[in-house]
Amino acid sequence: MHLEKVNKASLLSAGISIGVPVLAIGLGFYALRKLLRRNPDGTSSTVAPALKDMVLQRENLTITPSDAALYANTLYGAMLDFGTDEQTIYSTIDKIQTKDDMLLVIKAFGMKMYLWGGRAAFLGQNYNLIGWLRFELGDKEIATIKPKFDSWGIPL
């Protein structure tokens, strides 16, 4: 069965009139995500360096890697899904004594997909603990924990 030339032309025209806008929307979405891309610590990639440049001094640790994993999981649980448990975040951060302890907790937290406090495989983006804290806490809550981070020299 062969299509007439007129039918082929109308099919091609319909394909172009639908395909071009769909392709343009897809490229626009991709470009927007690239433009808004952030460092894993939640900062804009054009403004500040990521925490990966900080070196962990093992001799300054006061917690074990299993303690760091416990703190990281506790913080993750306090921020996961709807609602943030600020008191759990404050009490967990209060237990962390040194900059190197905090860096170990950040390392134990790893990179977790974030989209409005939930897990989202397609639309979310990977962030470390600092990124999660920045998104989950308001200015008042960040002001509560910021002095400790400032004393460690870790940007929050």
Residue 33 — very low, low, confident or very high, per pLDDT cuts 50/70/90?
A: low
Q: pLDDT: is 50 or 54 the higher one?
A: 54
Residues 156 and 141: their CA atoms lie apart, in Å, by 12
The answer to whether residues 150 and 130 touch, using CB atoms and an 8 Å cutoff, is no
Residue 140 — very low, low, confident or very high, per pLDDT cuts 50/70/90?
A: very high
Distances 21 to 8, 13, 14, 65 between C-alpha atoms, Å: 20, 13, 12, 51
pLDDT at 62: 93
pLDDT at 105 over 50: yes
pLDDT at 34: 56
The answer to whether residues 93 and 106 touch, using CB atoms and an 8 Å cutoff, is no
Residue range 50-57: mean pLDDT, rounded: 70
pLDDT at 120 over 70: no
H-helix or E-strand spanning residue 126: strand 125-127
**Tokens representing residue 54 in the block:** 């900080």
DSSP state of 115: B
pLDDT at 26 over 80: no
pLDDT at 83 over 70: yes
pLDDT at 46 over 50: no
SS3 4: coil
pLDDT at 30 over 50: yes
pLDDT at 6: 59
SS3 38: strand
Using CB atoms within 10 A of its CB, is residue 25 exposed (0-12), middle (13-18) or buried (19+)? exposed
